[in-house]
Amino acid sequence: MKKIILFLILILGSQCFAFDIVYPKKNDVTINSNSTFFIGASKTPLKINSQEVPLHETGAFAYVVDLAEGQNIFTLEAEDDRQIFVITRPKIRPQTQTEVQFKPFEQKPFYVTTENCPLRSTPVDAGINRLAHLQRNILLNIDGEKGGFYRVVLSKDRYAWIAKSDVKECQNYKYSPAEMSGYEFSEDKEFYKYIFNFNKRVPFEIIEENPLRIRFYNVKDSDNEIFEMEFPFQQKLSGYGGKYEDNQFVWTVRKPQQINLHKPLKGLTIAIDAGHGGYENGAIGCLGDKEKDINLSIAKYLETELKKRGAKVVMTRNDDFYLGLKQRVDIANYNNATVLLSIHANALPDGKDPNKFSGTSIYYYYNQAKPLADTILDVMTSELNLNNDNVRQASFALVRNTDALSILIETAYLINPEDNAKLIKPEFQKDCAKAIADGLENYFLKY
């Protein structure tokens, strides 16, 4: 039976259809979900398994179908054109999950082998559980393992976790706490700077509360081997960073911006990141438009808008090419950006209904960026008459940058027919850029 269906697919696949299917990407796919959706556009009335598909005025559609276990066959018809899709949902097999147990062992010294590796509060490689990002050669005291993680001893009663692949055991080395010989303070026009002098690199954590604090672990002659220092100035956070230079830890905190009340963005350095690019298309809209192109178009309009308002603008990309996530953050930090805005358009996984999701959402990771996210979202949804799809905390690479106020803006849903129709219009893209710029001005005037 399946051979016959696949033969029909090959025959029909050579025809020119009155409708285009963007998702699913192939006529024969496996999807492990209780539902999926057909995304695309049709020039004429369309039916899926004899059911009329609602079409947007542009011809775009998003149509949800339920999936039973095994093969699901869908026939799509518009006038004389016909396509057959076979979507297989794997059968659910009962699984007996054995919880991975913690295995303690005698404390051993390890050192970090990768740059910017996460020190986590739980042994899970996901979520909002990062305590710090560690550099190479930081020494750790480890006393056990669980799954793919080692447990790091931070003090007598505090622990963290690090991936086994990010560390190596120190050979012929006996663990001992680090010695700190004091710290130095200085400041310039833009930053406060602290330099902590150690005889070796130790794990640390910057605690983004009021007041801002930095905490070093495994430090000799400190209470519970923890040395903690509060940032002594009361101010709104607008960027901070900390890293080792040899065995000195350099901690910088950006000073409050001097805001021109008539031109609030004048002189500020703002990095704009157009998400995806090159071979990385991002989401594909109902009408076949690529997210990477829409992101870049909005980013360029935003660049023009911000420059008109006196800002210095740094673009992570200004053409269609691939750029790694770390490279994007590095560009913003190298140019000492106060704000990093990553521009995207949203999509959804199987099991969701694209017709029920619309509008703008903004993501942040560190608390210092949440007020900026809240302000820009309020302005965008008001000026653009879009649904408020909420501000959310998420562990995305672009928003885990603390040197700048970093947020990721999902302008609208590319796989929602109504949002898709808006996103592809240059007028909407310009309005979107203006709303983001207005939101930035409101933020700096308010905070």
pLDDT tens column, 130-182: 999 999 999 999 999 999 999 999 998 999 999 999 999 998 888 899 999 99
Give the per-residue pLDDT at 235: 82
Q: For residue 262, list its beta bridge partners.
A: none
pLDDT tens column, 97-130: 778 999 999 999 999 999 999 999 999 999 999 9
Give the per-residue pLDDT at 14: 43
pLDDT tens column, 30-85: 999 999 999 999 999 999 999 999 999 999 999 999 999 999 999 999 998 999 99
Give the per-residue pLDDT at 173: 84
Give the per-residue pLDDT at 16: 60
Give the per-residue pLDDT at 13: 45
Task: Say which range, 154-158, 264-268, 325-329, 389-393, has the weakest mean pLDDT.
Answer: 154-158
Its pTM surpasses 0.75: yes
Q: Mean pLDDT throughout 176-194?
A: 95
User: In this model, does residue 7 exceed pLDDT 70?
Assistant: no
Strand order across the beta sheet in which 339-346 lies = 312-315, 269-274, 339-346, 405-413, 360-364, 388-393
Q: Mean pLDDT throughout 252-262?
A: 92
